[in-house]
Amino acid sequence: MGNAEVMVTARMGVGKKEEGNRVLASLGTNASKAVNQLYDYVIERGVLPFDDRVEERRPHSRAEVEAAVGLVDSLVAPVAEPYRSMSTKDARLARLGIAGAAGEGRR
């Protein structure tokens, strides 16, 4: 199909369309751009961004992992024996259960 553009249509109530267009405009976008972004998301990830049924299967982004590491690091607790010989990075990854952590080829 190449770079040819096609039209996608959707049916909804007039009120929903008008309110949605107002919100999209306030966000600096429009329905066409939002639908394109939705398609990009679905194509890239294979899931809907708002489908609760697949939330637990959704892979964690690097930002989410880093946020989790930050939360873990903010908790004050004595250093457990297994972590004493690890680098800070390896200990963080080990606490999160990330494969390859704890000195198994990571430095």
Q: Does 18 share its domain with 46? A: yes
Residues 6+ positions from 38 with CB-CB distance below 8 Å: 49
Establish if 31 belongs to a structural domain: yes
Domain hosting 84: range is 62-95
Other beta carbons within 10 angstroms of residue 91's beta carbon come to: 20
Distance between CA atoms of residues 82 and 98, nearest Å: 15
**Each residue's pLDDT tens digit, 22-63:** 999 999 999 999 999 999 999 998 888 887 665 555 667 888
In terms of pLDDT, which residue wins out, 63 or 103? Answer: 63
pTM of the model: 0.46
**CB-based burial label for 38 (10 Å; 0-12, 13-18, 19+):** middle
Asked if 45 and 72 sit in the same domain, the reply is: no
Block residue for tokens 């939360």: 71
Residue 107: band (very low, low, confident or very high) from pLDDT cuts 50, 70, 90: very low
Domain assignment present for 42: yes
Round the average pLDDT of the chain to a whole number and report it.
80
* pLDDT at site 80: 63
Give yes or no for residue 101 having a pLDDT over 60. no
Q: How confident is the model at residue 105 (pLDDT cuts 50, 70, 90)?
A: very low
Number of structural domains the chain divides into: 2
